Amino acid sequence: MGKNAGGPARAPRAPRADAVRNRERILAAACDLFTEVGSQAPIDEVARRAGIGNATVYRHFPDRDALVLGVIQHVLKRTGDRAEQAIAEVDDAFEALSRFVHACAEERIGAVCVVLDGAYDPGEPEVATLTGRLNALVEAMMARARRAGTLRADVDLGDIILAVSQLTRPLPDLAGYHRGPHRYLQLFLDGLRTPAPSTLPADDTW
């Protein structure tokens, strides 16, 4: 009988630093490539961009579905972390919301979620948890800005999520008019400030 039989279970060993780095490199490379060409991007190219071998990719993500899910979880977590950071570091309530909205462009959450739509299950437990966390953080920022009197009262979570998801996705160049997401996000943010220059129309139907 082993000397550990009946004793307390050992805590799982923490991943090695190089394994953590490799996972981050894989996710960053896959995020770039999926944004460019979609979820069917070659795993070989993900490995090449990450600067590692194919076998290392498959050790972390046994198949394409696992890699797609990993990218979605990665982007949702990073975006939630950026929301927490904005809340913790920025005293002005509306400026915290503004910092977060611009951070969404840097994390490319709209681009990733659009190109991978249908390639993963949004009800997967970890995705659902991360989405719920992100939504709760955005609602907390909005509530704080409303209390400060700087966010118009007729804006809700859906307005923020829809605008951010559309304005942080790849847009057509439109003959050179497209100048990058931050310009359009700032125009959107300016429309959220009080005093509201107009009353929002009732829900439209398509």
The token duo for 17 is: 């630093």
Q: Is the dihedral of CA 173, 35, 97, 166 positive or negative?
A: positive
Please check whether residue 116 is in contact with residue 72, taking contact to mean a CB–CB distance below 8 angstroms: yes
DSSP conformation class of 11: P
Distance in angstroms (rounded) separating the CA atoms of residues 61 and 77: 18
Which class in CATH covers the domain with range 17-62? mainly alpha
For the stretch 2-43, pLDDT in tens is 455 555 556 556 567 788 999 999 999 999 999 888 888 999
Q: What is the mean pLDDT of the chain?
A: 87
Distance in angstroms (rounded) separating the CA atoms of residues 150 and 166: 24
More reliable by pLDDT, 132 or 180: 132
What CATH number has the domain spanning 69-173+180-196?
A: 1.10.357.10
Report for 132-146, 152-166, 169-183: range of highest mean pLDDT: 132-146
Please check whether residue 101 is in contact with residue 188, taking contact to mean a CB–CB distance below 8 angstroms: yes
Q: What is the pLDDT at residue 18? A: 84
Q: What is the pLDDT at residue 1? A: 46
Lowest mean pLDDT segment, chosen from 10-19, 62-71, 75-84, 153-162: 10-19
CATH 1.10.10.60-classified regions of the chain = 17-62
Q: Is the pLDDT of residue 186 over 60?
A: yes
Q: What is the pLDDT at residue 39? A: 87
CATH 1.10.357.10-classified regions of the chain = 69-173+180-196
Say whether pTM exceeds 0.85: no
19: left (phi over 0), alpha (psi -120 to 50) or beta: alpha
Name the packing angle between helices 93-107 and 64-89 (round to 10°).
160
